[in-house]
Each structure stands twice: as C-alpha cells, then as structure tokens.
Structure 1
Amino acid sequence: MSAVHLILDGATAHVVLDNPAKLNAFTPDMLAQLEAHCATLERSPDIRAVILRSESTRAFCAGADIKAWAGLSPFDFARAWVREGHRIFDRLARLSKPTIAVIHAPAFGGGLELAACCDIRVMAPGATLALPEAQVGIVPGWSGTQRLARLIPEPVLKEMALFGRRIDAARAHGLGFVAEVADDPLATALGIAGGLSHASPRAVEVAKYQIHAAVGEDRAAMIEALGGGMIGASQDKAEGVQAFAEKRKPEFPGA
C-alpha cells in the first residue's frame, strides 16, 4: 500500500506523505515511491509546480523508520540505506520543476532533510525543525550535513546536529530557510505556486538550473544541461543531425 501519494491537480502536483502510524518516518518502500513519483513528474510537461506535504496532522515527517535500518550491517547501512536515500532525495532536489515544502508540524531528521530538498518552504507557526540523529547514535545521512550547510548558517546547524536544539518557525524564517510562516501553510503554498501561471515554464526551469549550478547542487549536470539546451536550439545541431541521417559531411552554418 502506498504511503507516498502523487495527486495531480491541474498544473500543480502534490506529493503527499501518508504513513501516520509512524509519523511519516521513511521506509524503503516510501523511498521507492518517492523516486517513482519524481520520475513521473519529470515526464509531466503540464505540471508547473510540485507541493510536498503531509496527510498527517501530527508530523510533516519524523525522519527514517528506525526499524528499517536498525538491524542492517554497517556495510548495508552505508550502502543500501544512507547512499540510496541520499540518491533519491537528490532526485527530488534536482527536479526541473519548482518545489514547495509545506511544513505544518515537526520535521525531524530525514524529514528536515526532505524539506531542504525543496526550492522553498512554508511553515506553520507551531512547527519545529530538528536533527536528533546523535541521540540515537547516528549522524544525518540524507544531506543534513551537506545541503543543509548551504541553507542554514554553520553555527545554527551545529546547534541542531551536535546539541540537539530545535528551531521554531520564527527563527527558521529569520534565517531565510523558510519563505513564509502562515497559519494555513498549504493555502499559502498554493498561492505561491499559482504565481507560476504568469511565468515562462522554460525560463523558470533554466533559472533553477542556473541557481543550482551557482550553489553546487549537481553543478556538472546543470552546466551540461544549460549547454545542451543552448546548442540544441542551434542551426548547427539541426544540420549535424540531418547530415548524419543523410550520410554526408555536415556543412555547419555557425548559427
């Protein structure tokens, strides 16, 4: 049974966490479902924005299901759990479409790392953020010490990862990690997503690539994607493809 749903609503897609019994703590099946939805979204040209949210009123996401990894060998924990989760979260972070996380309740550990994968975040006043991994004898593994280090000042990140301190919505907003604090964060996120209806989808996509290249989010792929888009629109590319099909030497116009 799916615990990560994909709901398409016009030009907006909702990725919905729905594992309330475990406060949306991620299992291997949930990771696989998230990856499958990311693949679907990349193949959905009509989708303009993606909203990541929780169905549960008690939590955005409590992180990773301890029962899913507690019995793994050190090798399997590193390879099959940490690296695999990191790879799938990267897939979300690198979606070509704008993403918004709706944090209406606690986002801890992997839940905070998941929210950090989105382009912006909207948070309810009573929600909190935390990295409690050290309290169960592990360290953040799904970009909590890497991507979050680009989004949160180093001393604050150390407060959370080393000392277990929680961050409330007001402080997260003051740090720039959260775009808005709202009593109804979903409605606010939908309003933000609606603004994309007046923007060029391709311009938005390219702007996201440019920003990611600047901050180091999959820089190599972003630079090559930008270059590929530029050359793909050229007459040289059209001539090269046509010449190949016609089995002749190309005569590039240089345009």
Structure 2
Amino acid sequence: MSDRVTITMLEDGIADVRMNRADKMNALDGAQWAALAEAIDELKAMAGLRVVVLSGEGRAFCAGLDLASMQDDRTPGASSAGGSLSDRTKGISNNAQYVAWGWRELPVPVIAAVHGVAFGAGSQIMAGADIRIVHPETRIAIMEMKWGLVPDVGGMPLWRTQVADDVLREMIYTNREFNGVEAKAMGFATHVADDPLAEALALARVIANKNPHAIRGSKRLCNLMATATDAELLQAESDEQVKVIRTPNQMEAVMAEMQKRKPNFSD
C-alpha cells in the first residue's frame, strides 16, 4: 500500500481510510490516483470489513486534479490517472472514474468525512460515499467547467440519486463554489458537522454493530435504485431477504436487541 493513502483498521471492522498528501491538499497526480485505486482494491478483498470512513489529512478532503497534471504532455484522450479516457480499464469505469465509483462497488457502506475543500474530482470522490458528512465551511465545487472541461470522474451516475436535476445542471454549468451548509440543502451532503471525522466514526460504529450480511444486502438494494425497474427491485428485496432471514446473524440481531447487549456477529 502506498503511503499516499493509509488504511487503519479500528475495532468492529471499521476501516479508517485517509488520503495522505496533505502538502498538496490531497490533489490528484498520477501517484495519488493509483493509491486510491489500490486502496479500493485492498478493501474489496479485506475479510471482516464492516464499514469504511474516508477522509483527507491536513487542510482539505481533496482539492481535485493537481494542476501540474493538466500541463503534462499527453495525447488527446489520455487520462491523468493513466490509460485512455474511453477505455473501460476498471470494470465499467476508467482509471479516473474508479476512484469515485469504486467506493460504490465496495460491499460495505462508505462514509465520507469532508472538510476544507472538495473541488472537481474531490467532489466526485465524495459523491461515491454512501453517506457524506461535511463541515459547514467546506468549500465545494464541480470545478471542471472552469477549465473548459466536463465532469468525468464518476460524478454523473452518482449525483443523479443525490441532487435535483436542475440544481446539478446549474452547479455544473457555472462551476459555482458552495459551502457545506448549501451542500446539505442541495443534496450533495447528508449531514453537516463541526467535526465531520468524529461524526463519521460514531456513525460507523453504529453501522458496524448491525448484521453485516443484512447491511451488505441493503447496500446492493440501494445501488439498484437508480437503474432497476419496480419489478426488479421488488424481486431483489425478496432475494436479499431470503439470504438473511433465520440465519445465525439474523437470530443474533434479535437476541442482542431483546437482551440489550452488543451483538456478536460472524462474517
């Protein structure tokens, strides 16, 4: 694992994941893109994982693309994250899109704790989280239009379940900066908190003490909502319930609740 992104395992299967390029406000150069992708891949393969908390070290969550990367001599269509923008190098995404979309592909919930700035790609990485907790003074912008570009780091399929269509269009077309309070009102953020990381870790502890198989099934259901038909969602609800009902973990959830104690789940 690169030291550009750190993963610290806490109790109850909580992964504390931090972008660690504080001197550059966690801006994305080639090494940072790669480190985030590597972290996502490591988390996908991790046994006993229950929840991920994603944050940035230093003064910012992520300032977006390292501007020096815009000056690199690359052929048209090449990505600053490596490879081609058009090629699907990471499943359904390219290398850059994966650092935002990849959090959605994790089997467990991801909570983003956002402070300082979340510009451009940073705003899209934030969008990849299931739940987004931001400081009220966080500066956020879909910045690409400032540089004559379109948002292309996975934001479009992520934002469509979070932000009203007309609001999203305005923020893209104008690249207007907005703060954490506005982000909550518009749907870009779930909660506003003076200490986003502490709030995210507290929420992670709550989620980590739920039936892990029911949590994973619920995330799969939530991921379907943007594209599945009503019939497909109704069938998926039934299929996921069959997987967990009357299993040892489901019975343990009932017993722990009745006995007012911490549950002891198995993975």
Q: TM over 0.5, yes or no?
A: yes
**Alpha-carbon deviation of 1:88?**
3.9
Say if 2:177 is the partner of 1:176. Answer: no
Contact 1:125 1:181 in 2 (8 A): yes
Give the structure 1 partner of residue 10 of structure 2.
9
Q: Distance in 2 between matches of 1:34 and 1:131?
A: 20
* Aligned: 1:50 with 2:36: no
Distance in structure 1 (CA, Å) of the matches to 2:202 and 2:190: 13
CA offset at residue 230 of structure 1? Answer: 6.6
Preserved CA contact (<8 Å) 2:167 2:186: no
The residue identity in structure 2 corresponding to 1:184 is D
SS of 1:199's partner is coil
Q: Residues 231-246 of structure 1 correspond to what in structure 2 (within 5 A)?
A: none
Q: Which residue of 2 aligns with 1:37?
A: 39
Question: Counterpart amino acid of 1:7?
Answer: T
Greater helix proportion: 1
Aligned pair count reads 226
- 2:136 aligned residue: 125
Is the aligned partner of 1:209 residue 2:220?
yes
Instruction: For residue 150 of structure 1, give the secondary structure of its aligned residue in structure 2.
Output: coil
Secondary structure in structure 2 of the residue aligned to 1:101 = strand
* CA distances 1:87-122 after superposition (whole Å, capped 9, x unpaired): 343222210011000011110100000000000000
The letter for the 1-side match of 2:3 is S
2: CA distance between counterparts of 1:184 and 1:81?
Answer: 38
Query: What amino acid is aligned across from residue 14 of structure 1 in structure 2?
Result: D
Looking at structure 2, the residues matched to 65 and 229 of structure 1 have their Cα atoms a distance apart, in angstroms, of: 45
Percent sequence identity over aligned pairs = 27
TM-score by length of 1: 0.79
Cα separation, partners in 2 of 1:23 and 1:81, compared to 1, 3 Å:
farther
CA distance in 1 between counterparts of 2:183 and 2:84 reads 28
Give the TM-score, by structure 2 length: 0.76
Task: Give distance in 2, aligned partners of 1:61 and 1:15.
Answer: 13
Shift of 1:182: 0.8
Indicate whether 1:190 and 2:226 are aligned: no
CA RMSD of aligned residues (A): 2.7
**Structure exhibiting the larger radius of gyration computed from Cα positions:** 1
Q: Deviations over 1:232-253 (max 9, x none)?
A: xxxxxxxxxxxxxxxxxxxxxx
In structure 1, the residue matched to 2:124 is 113
Q: Call closer, same or farther: CA 1:201–1:228 in 2, change over 3 Å.
A: closer
State the one-letter code of the partner of 2:74: L
Contact 1:69–1:77 (8 Å) recurs in 2: no
The within-5 A match list for 1:77-96 is 77=79, 80=83, 82=85, 83-96=94-107
Whichever residue aligns with residue 19 of structure 2, its letter is: L
Counterpart-to-counterpart distance in 2, 1:122 and 1:113: 14
Aligned partners of 1:101 and 1:115 also within 8 Å: yes
Instruction: Look up the match of 2:89.
Output: none
Q: CA deviation at 1:168?
A: 1.7
Shift of 1:42: 2.0
Aligned-partner SS, 1:192:
helix
Cα offset for 1:211? 1.1
Cα displacement (A) at 1:60 = 1.0
Kindly state the Cα deviation for residue 50 of structure 1 after the two structures are TM-superposed: 0.4
Residues 15 and 51, structure 1, Cα contact 8 Å, conserved in 2 = yes
Unaligned residue ranges in structure 1 (runs of 5+):
232-255
